């Protein structure tokens, strides 16, 4: 019980501090809300002032524009005339400029043609001289070519003879030289092979020595490596087990994280969807509200009446009175389309008043339904198979039900588009989609527009949208709470990750494995090295024996090849002298032939070049002669055109001078019109500048208001969040603490950590048995309560007896004192209502027990002896009761008194007395009298007449009588 009690104390302290923290936060948020709300109200006032200024400026601007229309028309006409003339002048100036440019072009062409003819003549003379020169050169060079060709043929004959004698000697010498070369090459190859073999034998012997030393050293290292590999295998098993445990824990964490992130993604999509729908509905709400307030889509007459203070602003439009389910809204709207802009008024006088107002203001026409005309209307009932009455699909207030029944009389709605049944002559059948309106002898319909179904029931739709927005906001708040809870869970899972530890363990293990692999690789390389070393020793010893045998064979073959080479050299020495003499003759003849051949080819090229130059000059001469003929014809044609252009320029100059004079006169008239127009336009521009500034101010203010409203909504949301937390944890509403003042002993900065610590202690406290504390406390409380109750009863009995006695004594004394004063006041007021001779009294029937005694009222007007008050007349009873009321009033005055038709039973003389005493006491108190009596009405200071403007709507009209004199008058029937 003690442990449970401590737990409950912690919870109580946690609750107390949590509530105090909530009070501090709510107080701060409430202060923010108050400040923002004040700013919103101030900015809305500014916005309304800006709107009023905009409307005033627009009206003033419209008036100025109407006044400026005639000036603008005059200016426009004069500008148009001047622009036409200027356009004509520009066209003529362009024509003149074009003629001048054409003249300049023709003169330039003529000069070019003349220059071209002169150049062609000079070129033709030069070309003729060049042609004569090239013809002489070609004849001379052809003669030289013939001579060189003859000398070339002679050199070629001599060279051929020498080549025939040289060929026989050369073939014998080539055979001997080839034998010598073969012998020398064979000796070289044998000596080379012998040196290579000796070198290889030395290398093999050195390799055998190095191999023996390396194999001894590697065997010692292999034993050391084997011990290290065994140690690393033991460490690898330990790391592998530890890594497996960490990876299993990380896999479980990742699975939980994946599930949480999947839930978070779905929740985020849902929040996005809800927010998108909420934004769409808010935008639709704002648009619908703006359309309703601005009456968009309605004619000017409707907007005029709705905004006119001289007519009933509360008269609704038919489209705002009814609401239809969305599935049937298009069908009903299409049928009622001609009547949706009708106003619905109560009486015919209201409609006449609106018609006259439109007529006086020249604001178009409007239509009206009069509700009084439908009071006795009874709608007929018509049914067809597979249809519904349209009136059953329409929602409207009872007062407008007859009107709706009349408009939808005999109108049915079919679920099918192709209804095949017979339609009565007085029935109208609508398709559910709204595409068809069918009567017995006609049918209409077609496509459905994008905005059809949006006009009917806009106010009701606005209410539905508002309710939907509130519902979506609540859902968004709930989803936001779930989102932050899930996000906290995800952050916790992410904080528990062991990937870094796993990476460290894996890195250590990989390092260990790499070291082991490296050692195994080295071990394998040692084995391979020893095996390959033994094999290499065997191969080297075999190769050394084979190479030594080969060198012995090479020594024998070298002796034989040296002898062959010596014999070949002796044969060459006998043949070489005759061959050198013939070879020198052949070289001289070949050189002479080559020189003659080169000279002949050069001469051929020179002759060909001269012939091509001669042909090119002859062609150029033909072209120059043709160009001279063409340019001569062009010169003649240009001279004719130049003469014509001079005549056109002179004609245009004459017409331009006349138009310049006309333009000067028209510019003067335009300047005068512009001065008048722009003077008026300046005033309009000033108004437009003011209007733009006012519109900008209005827009900026509206934007600021929207921002402040969003901020206000944010503060409200925070307050709601505080309330939701209190409701979830303690079941306490935000309204229970919103008006509490924060305790100055605490601060929000201190309360937050304390509440968190208490929350953590409670969460980690463990299980308790709350019944133990409850049982102990119940027994203890029951014992203490019974003991206290017994003592209280004894004490209360004695105290009560004394109190009763004291109350009776005090009450009796006070009652007798008040009774005596009221009796005197009653007598005094009674005599002022009647006469001084009249008498009255208040008598206690049982004076021994005044608190329980009945009181007898005695009234004895002069001349009467009534036994009781019931024997008096109605007026006397009323005056007596009034006297008693005023006696009690004098005993305990009140700030105001209300009389509800008290003067109804009084005659004129008694009413005068009644009014007189009211007037007397009105100096100290205020009296409100409900009456139908004219004398009472005449005697009051201010009268309030109550009347009913229309069914169910009352009004009050005050009249101040203090500045009027009352006088009686008699009406005489004529």
∠ CA 261-262-264, rounded to 5°:
60
- 548-583 burial, b if ≥16 CB within 10 A, otherwise e? eeeeeebeeeeeebeeebeebeeeeeeeeeeeeebe
Of the candidate ranges 206-220, 345-359, 470-484, the one whose mean pLDDT is the lowest: 206-220
Given pLDDT bands bounded at 50, 70 and 90, which one contains residue 930? very high
Given pLDDT bands bounded at 50, 70 and 90, which one contains residue 821? very high
Both 905 and 857 in one domain: the answer is: no
Both 323 and 429 in one domain: the answer is: yes
Choice between 826 and 311, residue whose per-residue pLDDT is larger: 826
Choice between 818 and 421, residue whose per-residue pLDDT is larger: 818
Q: Retrieve residue 574's tokens.
A: 């006998």
Both 314 and 392 in one domain: the answer is: yes
447 within domain boundaries = yes
Strands (E), 189-327: 323-324
Given pLDDT bands bounded at 50, 70 and 90, which one contains residue 188? low
Residue 962 pLDDT more than 80?
Answer: no
613 within domain boundaries = no
**Of 420, 437, 454, which residue constitutes the final position of a domain?**
454
471 within domain boundaries = no
Contacts of 389 (CB under 8 A, 6+ apart): 381, 382, 383, 408, 411, 412, 413
618 within domain boundaries = no
pLDDT score, position 206: 61
d(CA 313, CA 292): 14
pTM listed for this prediction = 0.31
Which residue do the tokens 């043929």 mark? 153
Of the candidate ranges 182-186, 326-330, 470-474, the one whose mean pLDDT is the lowest: 182-186
Given pLDDT bands bounded at 50, 70 and 90, which one contains residue 450? low
pLDDT score, position 579: 53
155 within domain boundaries = no
Average pLDDT over residues 324-353: 83
- Selection from 247-251, 278-282, 293-297, 818-822 with the highest mean pLDDT: 818-822
47 within domain boundaries = yes
Judged by phi (left if over 0) then psi (alpha if -120 to 50, else beta), residue 30 lies in: alpha
3-state helix, strand, coil in the chain (%, to 5): 75, 5, 15
**Of 892, 914, 948, which residue constitutes the final position of a domain?**
892
Residue 770 pLDDT more than 70?
Answer: no
Exposure on the CB side of residue 111, measured as CA atoms within 13 A: 5
Asked whether the beta carbons of 584 and 578 are under 8 A apart, the reply is no
Both 829 and 920 in one domain: the answer is: no
Both 906 and 883 in one domain: the answer is: no
pLDDT score, position 204: 66
Both 885 and 906 in one domain: the answer is: no
pLDDT score, position 906: 85
Q: Retrieve residue 600's tokens.
A: 């002949």
- Selection from 323-327, 358-362, 943-947 with the highest mean pLDDT: 943-947
Choice between 934 and 214, residue whose per-residue pLDDT is larger: 934
Asked whether the beta carbons of 579 and 170 are under 8 A apart, the reply is yes
Diameter of the chain measured on Cα atoms: 208
Both 880 and 927 in one domain: the answer is: no
Both 41 and 9 in one domain: the answer is: yes
∠ CA 547-551-553, rounded to 5°:
120
Residue 454 pLDDT more than 70?
Answer: no
Strands (E), 105-256: none
397 within domain boundaries = yes
Residue 889 pLDDT more than 80?
Answer: yes
Both 888 and 912 in one domain: the answer is: no
Range of the domain at 812: 789-892
Tens of pLDDT, residue by residue over 281-330, are 877 777 777 777 666 667 777 777 777 766 765 788 877 788 888 788 88
Average pLDDT over residues 892-905: 86
911 within domain boundaries = yes
pLDDT score, position 974: 39
Percentage of the chain beyond pLDDT 90 is 1
Kindly report the number of other CB atoms within 10 A of residue 429's CB atom: 22
**Of 892, 920, 935, which residue constitutes the final position of a domain?**
892
Contacts of 513 (CB under 8 A, 6+ apart): 236
Tens of pLDDT, residue by residue over 556-569, are 777 777 677 667 65
pLDDT score, position 203: 62
Percentage of the chain beyond pLDDT 70 is 78
Given pLDDT bands bounded at 50, 70 and 90, which one contains residue 973? very low
Provide the CATH number for the domain around residue 935: 3.40.50.300
Asked whether the beta carbons of 342 and 424 are under 8 A apart, the reply is no
What's the total number of domains in the chain? 4
pLDDT score, position 970: 44
pLDDT score, position 971: 44
Which residue do the tokens 């009644």 mark? 914
Say how far residue 13 (Cα) sits from the centre of its chain: 47
Given pLDDT bands bounded at 50, 70 and 90, which one contains residue 492? low
Supply the mean pLDDT for the chain: 76
Average pLDDT over residues 729-750: 72
Both 749 and 794 in one domain: the answer is: no
Q: Retrieve residue 634's tokens.
A: 């062009």
Which residue do the tokens 């033909």 mark? 622
pLDDT score, position 169: 55
Both 928 and 941 in one domain: the answer is: yes
Provide the CATH number for the domain around residue 361: 1.20.1060.20
Residue 918 pLDDT more than 80?
Answer: yes
Both 949 and 921 in one domain: the answer is: yes
């Amino acid at each position: 019980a003690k442990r449970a009690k401590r737990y409950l104390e912690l919870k109580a302290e946690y609750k107390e501090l949590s509530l105090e923290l909530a009070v501090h936060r709510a107080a701060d948020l409430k202060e923010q809300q108050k400040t923002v709300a004040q700013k919103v109200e101030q900015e809305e006032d500014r916005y309304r002032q800006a709107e009023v200024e905009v409307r005033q400026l627009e009206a003033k601007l419209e008036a100025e524009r109407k006044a400026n229309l005639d000036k603008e028309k005059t200016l426009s006409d004069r500008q148009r005339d001047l622009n036409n003339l200027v356009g004509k002048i520009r066209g003529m100036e362009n024509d003149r400029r074009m003629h001048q440019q054409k003249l300049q072009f023709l003169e330039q062409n003529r000069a070019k043609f003349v220059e071209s003819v002169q150049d062609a003549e000079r070129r033709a003379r030069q070309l003729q001289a060049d042609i004569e020169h090239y013809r002489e050169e070609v004849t001379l060079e052809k003669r030289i070519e013939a001579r060189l060709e003859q000398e070339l043929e002679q050199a070629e004959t001599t060279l051929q003879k020498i080549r025939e004698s040289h060929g026989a000697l050369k073939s014998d010498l080539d055979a001997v030289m080839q034998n010598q070369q073969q012998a020398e090459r064979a000796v070289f190859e044998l000596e080379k092979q012998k040196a290579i073999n000796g070198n290889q034998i030395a290398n093999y012997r050195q390799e055998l020595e190095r191999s023996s030393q390396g194999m001894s050293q590697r065997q010692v290292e292999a034993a050391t490596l084997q011990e290290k590999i065994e140690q690393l295998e033991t460490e690898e098993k330990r790391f592998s087990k530890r890594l497996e445990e960490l990876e299993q824990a990380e896999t479980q964490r990742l699975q939980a994280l994946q599930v949480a992130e999947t839930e978070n993604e779905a929740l985020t999509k849902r929040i996005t969807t809800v927010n998108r729908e909420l934004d769409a509905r808010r935008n639709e709400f704002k648009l619908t509200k703006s359309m309703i307030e601005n009456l968009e889509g309605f004619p000017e007459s409707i907007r005029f009446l709705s905004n006119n203070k001289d007519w009933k602003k509360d008269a609704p439009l038919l489209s705002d009175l009814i609401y239809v389910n969305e599935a049937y809204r298009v069908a009903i709207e299409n049928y009622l389309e001609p009547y949706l802009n009708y106003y619905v008024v109560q009486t015919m006088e209201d409609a006449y008043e609106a018609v006259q107002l439109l007529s006086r203001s020249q604001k178009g026409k409007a239509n009206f339904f009069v509700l009084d005309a439908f009071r006795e209307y009874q709608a007929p009932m018509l049914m067809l198979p597979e249809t519904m009455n349209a009136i059953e699909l329409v929602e409207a207030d009872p007062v407008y039900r007859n009107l709706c029944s009349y408009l939808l009389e005999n109108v049915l709605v079919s679920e099918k588009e192709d209804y095949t049944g017979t339609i009565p002559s007085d029935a109208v059948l609508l398709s559910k989609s709204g595409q068809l309106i069918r009567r017995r002898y006609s049918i209409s319909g077609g496509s459905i527009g994008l905005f059809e179904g949006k006009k009917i029931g806009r106010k009701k739709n606005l209410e539905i949208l508002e309710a939907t927005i509130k519902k979506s906001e609540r859902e968004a708040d709930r989803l936001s709470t779930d989102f932050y809870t899930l996000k906290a869970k995800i952050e916790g899972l992410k904080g528990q990750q062991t990937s870094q530890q796993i990476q460290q363990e894996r890195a250590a293990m990989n390092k260990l494995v790499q070291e082991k692999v490296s050692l195994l690789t080295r071990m394998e390389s040692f084995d391979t090295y020893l095996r390959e070393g033994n094999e290499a020793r065997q191969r080297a010893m075999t190769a050394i024996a084979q190479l030594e045998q080969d060198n012995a064979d090479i020594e024998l073959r070298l002796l034989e090849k040296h002898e062959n080479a010596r014999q070949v050299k002796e044969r060459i020495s006998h043949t070489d002298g005759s061959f050198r003499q013939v070879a020198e003759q052949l070289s001289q003849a070949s050189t002479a032939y080559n020189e003659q051949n080169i000279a002949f080819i050069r001469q051929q090229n020179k002759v060909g070049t001269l012939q091509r130059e001669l042909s090119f000059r002859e062609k150029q001469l033909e072209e120059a002669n043709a160009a001279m003929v063409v340019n001569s014809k062009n010169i003649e044609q240009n001279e004719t055109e130049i003469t014509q252009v001079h005549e056109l320029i002179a004609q245009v100059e004459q017409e331009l001078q006349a138009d310049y004079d006309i333009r000067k006169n028209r510019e003067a008239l335009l300047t005068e019109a512009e001065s008048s127009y722009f003077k008026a336009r300046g005033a309009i521009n000033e108004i437009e500048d003011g209007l733009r500034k006012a519109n900008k101010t209005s827009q900026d203010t509206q934007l600021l208001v929207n921002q402040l409203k969003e901020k206000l909504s944010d503060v409200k949301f925070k307050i709601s969040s505080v309330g939701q937390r209190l409701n979830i944890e303690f079941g306490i509403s935000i309204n229970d603490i919103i008006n509490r003042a924060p305790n100055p002993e605490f601060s929000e900065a201190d309360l937050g950590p304390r509440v968190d610590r208490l929350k953590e202690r409670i969460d980690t406290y463990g299980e308790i048995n709350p019944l133990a504390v409850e049982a102990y406390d119940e027994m203890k409380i029951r014992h203490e309560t019974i003991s206290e109750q017994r003592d209280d009863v004894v004490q209360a009995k004695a105290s009560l007896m004394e109190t009763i006695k004291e109350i009776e004594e005090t009450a009796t004394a006070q009652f007798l004192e008040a009774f005596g004063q009221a009796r005197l006041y009653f007598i005094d007021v009674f005599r002022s209502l009647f006469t001084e001779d009249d008498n009255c009294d208040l008598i206690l029937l049982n004076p021994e027990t005044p608190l329980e005694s009945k009181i007898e009222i005695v009234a004895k007007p002069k001349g009467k002896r009534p036994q009781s008050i019931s024997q008096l007349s109605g007026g006397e009873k009323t005056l007596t009761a009034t006297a008693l009321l005023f006696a009690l009033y004098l005993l305990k005055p009140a700030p105001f008194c209300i009389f509800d038709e008290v003067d109804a039973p009084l005659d004129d003389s008694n009413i005068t007395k009644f009014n007189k005493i009211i007037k007397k006491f009105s100096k100290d108190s205020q009296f409100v009298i409900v009456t139908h009596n004219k004398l009472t009405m005449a005697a009051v200071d201010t009268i309030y007449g109550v009347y009913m403007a229309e069914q169910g709507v009352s009004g009050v009209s005050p009249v101040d009588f203090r500045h009027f004199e009352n006088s009686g008058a008699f009406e005489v029937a004529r």
